[in-house]
Structure 1
Amino acid sequence: MPHSHQTNRRDDGPTLLTARWVVGHRDGRHVLYENGEIVHEHGTILFVGHHYAGPVERRIDHGMALIGPGFIDLDALSDLDTGVLGLDHQPGWKKGRVWPRDYVEAGPVEMLDPDELAFQRRYAFAQLIRNGITTALPIASLFYRAWNETPDEFVSAAQSAAELGLRVYLGPAFRAGHSVVEADGSIVVEVNEARGLAGLKQAIAFCEEHESRFCGLVRTMLAPDRVEFWTPGLLRRTADAARDLDVPVRLHCCQSSFEVETMRGRFGTTSVRWLQDIGFLDDRALLPHGTHATDDDLCIIANSGATLVHCPLVMARHGAALDNFARLRSQGLRIGMGTDTWPPDMVLNMQLGLMLGRIMAGNFETPKSADLYDAATTGGADALGRPDLGRLQEGAAADIVVFDLSGNHLGQVVDPIACLMTSASGRDVHTVIIDGRTVMSAGTIAGFDFETAHGRAQAQFERLLHRYPQRTWQHPGIAEIFPPSYRTFVA
């Protein structure tokens, strides 16, 4: 069993970690050191390999474990995921996933108060750490918001991230439009440029005020909502702002047939072609999910230097998969990873990415386990322009994850990366170190009670669930919106 260590503090002096396997980085690629060593001090990696000869303040042997770089989640779940309600309850426009006309006319309301919003982000951030995610770009649903996320709530989010020790890129999500279900069941898109511009201005102000807070642990980004709800002028201004601020900009696109049809109807082209035409695409752009992109679209993304954010779990639940991971990587497309749904388990997403990648390619030899691991580490770091993240080498940030591989549920371990892709899960993360601070040890995060938080999250989720009829077309009851899998009897 790996060693347990005090959490949420930086060790004084060099700390040497050992384990059966250590993922180092050499000549631009990950390498494995069997019975390897890694040394860090003051938030920086000093050494990775064998036979460290320098001074050491403390030694921690994790035994039958894998020490690797922290995962980078470019679309990190940061709320109580109501998206899971869509697993067996479709179509979404009948199930509260699109606002009905009478709800819009009455004035959309905030379904959660500020304390609830703050709690769910802190809860989600802790779950990200628990799953070995050390850098996160949060994503939350706007379905139950009055319109945009607010700067004030992201001030709170920055504080929570810093207290927990999570490295984050933050920025309030903003939108210029939404879809509406009319009384007859038809769906229309409505755009409000004034509200979109107001959201952009607030997001820019947040970036200017909060970039590199908490000794650089908190960075900023721009987070415009889905591509089909924008206008050319506003998205062009958003891209220009990202360049001026030198921050990443994330825009969900190529993710649904509704989006494809809407973009054809509004602009007569595909989402990606439109983004190219308006000058949005460059190496700062992060684009989840790509499952509804054409081959031409994917070539455009690759040539632009933008990064496709691969979230295989959430898309597979909706019957979609990227076509296909290995081919796109070989064509030079930059691919990072995201969770975007519950559970925020990067290992599970890598596993599904591997399996779906082989199915879509019609080739059981590719992609390899290492390809998905690269996407979850160096792929995300490169997307953010951060050569100090996603790899363990001298001079890199000490963002380190320890997987306990001693459990009998894992079966026999020969190659630890292959083990992650077959039998491991995020629950096997034992220790997480971010910026040289041990923020989780033996599954414990200092100052965070998982059991108490889980109870509060369940109660908050149920309160939100029972408000669904208010913003569901024709306002059916909960039992009609979300019928149980089987006939249910209550005592």
Structure 2
Amino acid sequence: MITRIKAAFVIGYADGDHCILPNAELVHEDGTIVFVGRDYPGAVDINIDAGQAVVSPGFIDLNALADIDHALFDSWPDPTRRLGLVWSESYLRDHGAVFTREQLRFRREFALSQLVRNGITTLMPIASESYHEWCEDYEDLADTADAVEALGVRAYLGPSYRTAVPYTDGKRVMLHEDERRGLDGLDQAVRFAQDFEGRAHGLIRAALLPARIETQTEKTLQLTRQAADELKLPVRLHAAQGLFEVETMISRTGRRPLPYLADLGFLAERTFIPHAWTIPGHSHMPAAFGTGDDLALLSDSGTTVLLCPIPMAHYGGMLDSYDSYRERGVRIALGTDSAPPNMIRAMDLAMGMTKTLTGDRSSAQAADLLRSATVDPAESLGRSDLGRLAPGAQADYFVLDLTGSHIGPLADPVRTLIMNADGRDITQVVVAGRTIVDKGEIVTVDTSGYRERAQEFLDHYIASLTVSDFARRPLHELLPPSFPLR
């Protein structure tokens, strides 16, 4: 089946980079692009005129929220209430999973549908750990794989695992360690990779996704690196994302997170470090945590940083400069990591936050940000067939309508997309040549009732926090509303 789609603008790819093609067309035969340009000479089976719209490569989100978001209740509390969102000592000793397997499966289905609606065609999921009995497991990700296949999105999957969980006595946060459980989680992750790599005609690929660095032991990190190298899998590890983590790692190992990982040989190509902002020289980094060139460790090893501006704006924190990392040769890929999983909003926030921090209006250029959401993560994955619209590449793209009155008049289409448009302006999403979103609605699975079920999930999640709170406070005290309810 040969499909041609015409639009006012197509973001093509030539001479190693994106290019803008006004009044152009994209042609794909089933899942592969065969032509990008004007006046395709061959016959087509389906002809679509998108009109005043942008046809763009699909976004690649390698820190994609695959959960019902928790920022609504944990991004604003004061320190006392914040401790109430960490497991108490009594809860650590005696608790079970908060949700059933069916509820967990639904939260994946809902989150995946939200990602796709926002033009994300390739994803690597991240989810909360706090409502699990310990962490994700094989069965949870097997259900996720089923949901990915039904929806038709492209995904890099694997259960997360950890050797420690945070808990509190009401005064400070500590870590309860159980290396055996982390090693079992790694075994499940390897088994998942062996069972699911290449499933769904190649839409599902495997990855190793250990949880945050302070919840790992040296053994799990070394074995993760070994397994990733043997199975040729990408790896993601949250590191250098907060002062508690840095202090913990220095206390435990005598080194900051990134030098520690470099010494272990963990940093490498196809390795992704979300956030990576608590490094020497950052304005929030205490001088007592030492000096050194952590950016050189990332650049020299080919490690990719996953920049997630939405949670950084919610929780406070940001790279001192998006451009300074790139100028040092560190590849940056953008992620959402929070709700709304809106990559356009993430690009706009990255632009605004960088300009504010640097005082340089020429920083965080729109072209660089689009690269960070498309071709750069594709290159980091070793996928020259993703993140670009060119003959031979996968037919993964979205159509963004430019006619909305809120967008206003057009200038450069990429700058207009980032600064004036929104994920809600995306009308069509195609993955591997298959339409997943049409006229703004999911067409591959039935999403009726999703909104109501997601609300039930979040309500249950929030209610469970009173049980794990060290002070067992009622909800109106632990998480009071913005204004009094009358």
Give the TM bin, normalised by the shorter chain.
Answer: over 0.9
User: Which residue number corresponds to residue 132 of structure 1?
Assistant: 119
TM-score normalised per structure 1: 0.95
Q: Give 2:23's match in structure 1, choosing from 35, 42, 66.
A: 35
The question of 1:434 aligning with 2:431 is answered yes
Q: Give 1:234's match in structure 2, choosing from 198, 202, 220.
A: 220
SS at match of 1:391: coil
Judge conservation of contact 2:81–2:479 (CA < 8 Å) in 1: no
Output the CA distance in 2 between the equivalents of 1:420 and 1:323.
25
> What is the CA deviation profile of residues 156-189 of structure 1, one whole-angstrom value per residue up to 9, with x for unaligned ones?
1111111111101110110011222125x12222
- Rate the CA distance shift 1:92–1:291 in 2: closer, same or farther, 3 A: farther
User: Greater shift after overlay, 173-182 or 87-96?
Assistant: 87-96
Q: Give 2:110's match in structure 1, choosing from 108, 123, 128.
A: 123
User: Which residue number corresponds to residue 394 of structure 1?
Assistant: 391
SS at match of 2:76: coil
Judge conservation of contact 1:92–1:98 (CA < 8 Å) in 2: no
Alignment of 1:96-107 (within 5 A): 96-106=84-94
User: Which residue number corresponds to residue 68 of structure 2?
Assistant: 80
Output the CA distance in 2 between the equivalents of 1:208 and 1:57.
38
User: Which residue number corresponds to residue 141 of structure 1?
Assistant: 128
Judge conservation of contact 2:165–2:176 (CA < 8 Å) in 1: yes
Judge conservation of contact 2:150–2:445 (CA < 8 Å) in 1: no
Which amino acid in structure 2 is aligned with residue 84 of structure 1? L
User: Which residue number corresponds to residue 340 of structure 2?
Assistant: 343
Output the CA distance in 2 between the equivalents of 1:17 and 1:94.
50
Judge conservation of contact 1:130–1:426 (CA < 8 Å) in 2: yes
The question of 1:354 aligning with 2:342 is answered no
SS at match of 2:5: strand
Output the CA distance in 1 between the equivalents of 2:80 and 2:338.
16
Which amino acid in structure 2 is aligned with residue 90 of structure 1? D
SS at match of 2:4: strand
- Rate the CA distance shift 1:429–1:95 in 2: closer, same or farther, 3 A: farther
Which amino acid in structure 2 is aligned with residue 432 of structure 1? V
User: Which residue number corresponds to residue 316 of structure 1?
Assistant: 313
User: Which residue number corresponds to residue 377 of structure 1?
Assistant: 374
User: Which residue number corresponds to residue 153 of structure 2?
Assistant: 166
Judge conservation of contact 1:431–1:440 (CA < 8 Å) in 2: yes
Which amino acid in structure 2 is aligned with residue 324 of structure 1? S
Structure 2 unaligned segments of length 5 or more: list them. 282-292
Judge conservation of contact 2:378–2:387 (CA < 8 Å) in 1: yes
User: Which residue number corresponds to residue 412 of structure 1?
Assistant: 409
Q: Give 1:91's match in structure 2, choosing from 76, 79, 93.
A: 79
Judge conservation of contact 1:78–1:120 (CA < 8 Å) in 2: yes
Shift of 1:83: 2.8
User: Which residue number corresponds to residue 287 of structure 2?
Assistant: none
Shift of 1:66: 0.1
The question of 1:422 aligning with 2:422 is answered no
Judge conservation of contact 1:116–1:460 (CA < 8 Å) in 2: yes
SS at match of 2:442: coil
Judge conservation of contact 2:435–2:443 (CA < 8 Å) in 1: no
User: Greater shift after overlay, 199-208 or 417-426?
Assistant: 417-426
Shift of 1:92: 7.6
Instruction: Tell me how large the CA RMSD over aligned residues is.
Output: 1.3
User: Which residue number corresponds to residue 203 of structure 2?
Assistant: 217
Judge conservation of contact 1:84–1:341 (CA < 8 Å) in 2: no
- Rate the CA distance shift 1:305–1:97 in 2: closer, same or farther, 3 A: farther
Shift of 1:88: 2.0
Which amino acid in structure 2 is aligned with residue 269 of structure 1? R
Output the CA distance in 2 between the equivalents of 1:321 and 1:410.
28
User: Which residue number corresponds to residue 298 of structure 2?
Assistant: 301
User: Which residue number corresponds to residue 484 of structure 2?
Assistant: 487
> What is the CA deviation profile of residues 270-319 of structure 1, one whole-angstrom value per residue up to 9, with x for unaligned ones?
10000001111101211101121235222211111010001011012111
Judge conservation of contact 1:94–1:472 (CA < 8 Å) in 2: no
Which amino acid in structure 2 is aligned with residue 358 of structure 1? K
> What is the CA deviation profile of residues 75-132 of structure 1, one whole-angstrom value per residue up to 9, with x for unaligned ones?
00001011331232133874543211111122x3111110000001011111111000
Tell me how many residue pairs correspond in the alignment: 475
> What is the CA deviation profile of residues 314-351 of structure 1, one whole-angstrom value per residue up to 9, with x for unaligned ones?
01211111121112112110111111111000000000
Output the CA distance in 2 between the equivalents of 1:454 and 1:448.
14
Judge conservation of contact 2:56–2:399 (CA < 8 Å) in 1: yes
User: Which residue number corresponds to residue 200 of structure 1?
Assistant: 186
Judge conservation of contact 1:89–1:95 (CA < 8 Å) in 2: no
Output the CA distance in 2 between the equivalents of 1:159 and 1:450.
15
Output the CA distance in 1 between the equivalents of 2:378 and 2:53.
24
User: Which residue number corresponds to residue 285 of structure 2?
Assistant: none
SS at match of 1:52: coil
Judge conservation of contact 2:83–2:168 (CA < 8 Å) in 1: no
Shift of 1:55: 2.1
User: Which residue number corresponds to residue 444 of structure 1?
Assistant: 441
Shift of 1:463: 1.3
Output the CA distance in 2 between the equivalents of 1:90 and 1:297.
31
Judge conservation of contact 1:263–1:271 (CA < 8 Å) in 2: yes
Q: Percent identity?
A: 39
Output the CA distance in 1 between the equivalents of 2:81 and 2:190.
32
Judge conservation of contact 2:74–2:82 (CA < 8 Å) in 1: no
